[in-house]
Structure 1
Amino acid sequence: MASQKGRCNCGSVTVSLRSSPAEAAACHCLNCRRTGGACSVNYLVDESEADVDDKQGQLKEYRDSDTKSGNTVTRSFCQTCGSAVVTKSLKFPGKLFLKASLFDKVAPVKREVYTEDRIDWEI
C-alpha cells in the first residue's frame, strides 16, 4: 500500500504513515466528541508505522482520565491551531489512535464504538 501524509490545520505538525490504512473507526464517546465534532474518526496504527513530526514543538498533551472506558488516555493536539492529532492509551501499548481528519483522503469507517452516545440527525 502507498504511504500517506497528513497535517494539522496550520501545518506545524505533520504525520507520515508507511502505508494507507484500509479502514477507520468512529468513536462516539462524549470525550472524543468534545475534542472535535459529532464523532472522532481514527486510524489505529502501530507506532512503528507512523512518524509524528513536531519540529516546531507545537504538540500539547492532555491526560484524560474521565473516560467512559475508565482508561486514562493521552490526547495530543496542536497548540497553535487546536487540531487533535493523536491519542495514546495504556490499554493499547505500541499503538496510536491517529485522527483521520489529518489526511486529505480518509479510508471508509468500518467500525463504530460507543454508538449509544451517537448524535441522531436528519439530513
Structure 2
Amino acid sequence: MPHDEVTHAAGPAPLHFSGSTNSEVLARCQKYFQRGPTRTLIRYSPSSQTSPLRPTTRHPTMEGHCMCGAISIKVHDDELFTGKRRGHICHCRNCRYVAGGVWGANLAIEKDKVEIIGEEHLTQFIDKTTTSGTPMARCFCKHCGTPIKSVTPVMGNKIVIKMGCFDKVPAPEWEAFAVRRQEWEGPLEGCVQYKILGGPGKEQLK
C-alpha cells in the first residue's frame, strides 16, 4: 500500500522572517533548532480509487476515521451534542468481539445522515449468531481492522456506527444486555438499563 513520508520539526509551525534583521533571524533560528531533532511520520495514503466526498452544505457534527486513515466518517446530526443522550453501550458477546473490549459503544442512526469516504477499503464479516436470528454485516477497515459500522435488515433505514472512530461522542442513552455486564462494572449513570435488547418497549433490568 502506498505511503507518504512527511517530515515535521519537533516544534511549532515553520518560521517566517519578513521584516527581521540578520541578528534577529540568527537568534530565532538558533532557538528553533534547539527544540529537538526532526521526526518522520509515515502516513497512509488511500489509493486514487477512493470514493469522492459527496457534496454537502451541512457541517458534520461528528467526524472520525479508522486507525490508518484509509476510511473517514462524517455524521450530520444537529442533535448529537445538544445535551440529548444518543447511542448505547452493548454488553453482548458479539459486540465485545467486535470492540475487542468488555462492551461495545454504538450509535444507531439513519443512513442518510452518515458519510463514509473510502468505502472501497471496507471488508465485512457476516455475523449469523445474532439474538434476532437475522444475519448482520460487521464492516471494518481491511488494512488496520478498525470496526466502522454494522448493517442489518432488522434496522430498516438505520445503520450502527462504531463510536470508537471518533474523538468526541455524546453520552449514551442506554445499556443493552445489562445482565451480561461484568461483576466489577456498575451501571453507567444516567443510562436506562435494559435486560437484553434495548429500546422502547423492551424489558428493563430491575
- Higher strand fraction (1 or 2): 1
Equivalenced residues, count:
122
Q: Report what 2:146 is aligned to.
A: 83
Q: Report what 2:37 is aligned to.
A: none
1:58 to 121, 126, 129: 121
Q: Distance in 1 between matches of 2:181 and 2:134?
A: 20
Structure 2 CA distance for partners of 1:71 and 1:117, relative to 1, 3 Å: farther
Q: Report what 2:61 is aligned to.
A: 3
Q: Distance in 2 between matches of 1:33 and 1:120?
A: 15
- Higher helix fraction (1 or 2): 2
Assess if the C-alpha contact under 8 Å between 1:29 and 1:68 holds in 2: no
Q: Report what 1:69 is aligned to.
A: 132
Mapping 1:81-120, distance limit 5 Å:
81-120=144-183
TM-score (norm 1): 0.89
2:103 to 22, 39, 58: 39
- Partner AA of 1:50 in structure 2: V
Identity %, equivalent residues:
26
* Runs of 4+ residues over 6 Å off in structure 1: none
Q: Distance in 2 between matches of 1:74 and 1:28?
A: 18
Larger-Rg structure:
2
* CA RMSD between the two structures: 1.9
Higher relative contact order (CA 8 A, sep 6+): 1
Name structure 2 gaps, 5 residues minimum: 1-58, 186-206
